[in-house]
Each structure stands twice: as structure tokens, then as C-alpha cells.
Amino acid sequence: MYSIGETAKLVGLSAYTLRYYEKEKIIRPPRNDNGERMFDARHIDWLKFVIRLKATQMPIAQIRKYTELFLEGEHTAPQRLKLLQNHQVFIQEQLLNLTNVENELQHKIENYEKLTARSVK
């Protein structure tokens, strides 16, 4: 079992963020006799997944919904699947947008490289 500080270090988040996730019902760590939050390996794995979802810009509300569905049990698998599929479409759109912007930047960079190469001569 890990304290909130240890867990924060393990997953690369602040204790404040872990408290926020608890408030948002994204994590639900048990408390010891002193009222301190205690995290185990399952919490660590879950937090790593949440971090990946956040990195792909999944809103907290969607992460909370996914968490609720997960905790309800296996009968919610179709709903969880749909939620993740929708998010995957969002990610694919973002990737396409980023690829287009990267291509534009590459074109600009090549033009500036040619321009500066001529200036140096």
C-alpha cells in the first residue's frame, strides 16, 4: 500500500491532482485507521490509464463516466466500448490535423532553408 505522496511520485502527478481525481470520483482509494488514503497496485495501474486518457485530451467528465461504468460491472462493457470508440475517433481526427499542420510547417521550413542558403552565398 502506498500513501498519497508515494503514489503521486510513482505516477508523476501531484497529491493535489490525486485529491482532485478522488473528488471527481475517478479514483476511490480506501482510507486507513488514521483517515489517510491508501493506494495499491490496481490504483497505480488505473491512474496510469487515466493519465494516458488525459494525454489524449479526454475530458474529466468522460473519464468520470468511464469510471462509473467500469465500477458498475461487466454489463456496462458495451457502453464503455462505445465511449472509447468515440474517443478513438477524436484522437484520429487530432492526428490528421497534426499531420496536416506538420506538413505545412515542413513546407515553410524548406522554403526558409532555401532562402537562408541563398542569403549566405
Question: pLDDT by residue (tens digit) across 56-87?
Answer: 999 999 999 999 999 999 999 999 999 999 99
Report whether pLDDT(119) > 80: no
Residue 72 neighbours by CB under 8 Å, 6+ apart:
none
Alpha helices in 24-76 (DSSP H): 41-55, 60-72
| The domain over range 4-120 is classified in CATH as 1.10.1660.10 | yes
pTM, full prediction: 0.81
Residue 54 neighbours by CB under 8 Å, 6+ apart:
63
Q: What is the pLDDT of residue 121?
A: 64
Sign of the CA dihedral running 98, 100, 104, 109? positive
Indicate the domain borders of the chain. Answer: 4-120
Helix (H, G, I), strand (E, B) or coil at 31: strand
What are the distances in angstroms from CA 98 to CA 76, 85, 91, 95? 33, 20, 10, 5
